[in-house]
Amino acid sequence: MNDANEVLLFSYGTLRQPEVQLATFGRLLAGRDAAVVGYRLDWLTITDPAVIATSGCDRHPLLVADPTADPVSGTVFEITSDELLAADEYEVDDYERVLVPLDSGDEAWVYVFAAGGLPA
C-alpha cells in the first residue's frame, strides 16, 4: 500500500460487482485474487430494498466462522479509510467487519456473519 490512509478489503461477494463498486465508492476498484481461511461460505436473504437495487439480487454470500472449512476465494482491494466507511454503509446489519489473515500473509477487512443467529 502506498498511503497510510489505504486499507485492504477482501470481498467474496457483491462488492466485486462493478455496479456495486460504482454506487458504493464512486469508482471501479482494481484488485487481486486472494483467499481467507477459517470461514465457510453460506447465503443470506437480503431485505434492504436499497441493497437489493444496488446488487440486483436478494441472496448474498456470507462468511460464517468454520475452522475446518476450505479457504474461500475472493478479491482483495486497496481502498481508502473513507471508502471502508462507505462499504460499512452498504452492508446490512447481518454482516460485521473484522480483520482477518489472507493466504498471502496480508491482513484485510472482510464482512462476516454477525454473531447472534443463523443466516436466513
Its pTM stands at 0.81
Q: Cell triple for residue 66?
A: 468454520
Q: Which domains does the chain have, with CATH numbers?
A: 6-113 (3.10.490.10)
User: Would you give per-residue pLDDT tens digits along the chain (120 residues)?
Assistant: 445 689 999 999 889 999 999 999 999 999 999 999 888 998 888 788 888 888 888 888 888 889 899 999 999 999 999 999 999 998 878 889 999 889 899 999 999 888 644 444
> Collapsing DSSP states into helix, strand and coil, what is residue 37?
coil
Within 10 angstroms of residue 83's Cβ, the number of other Cβ atoms is 21
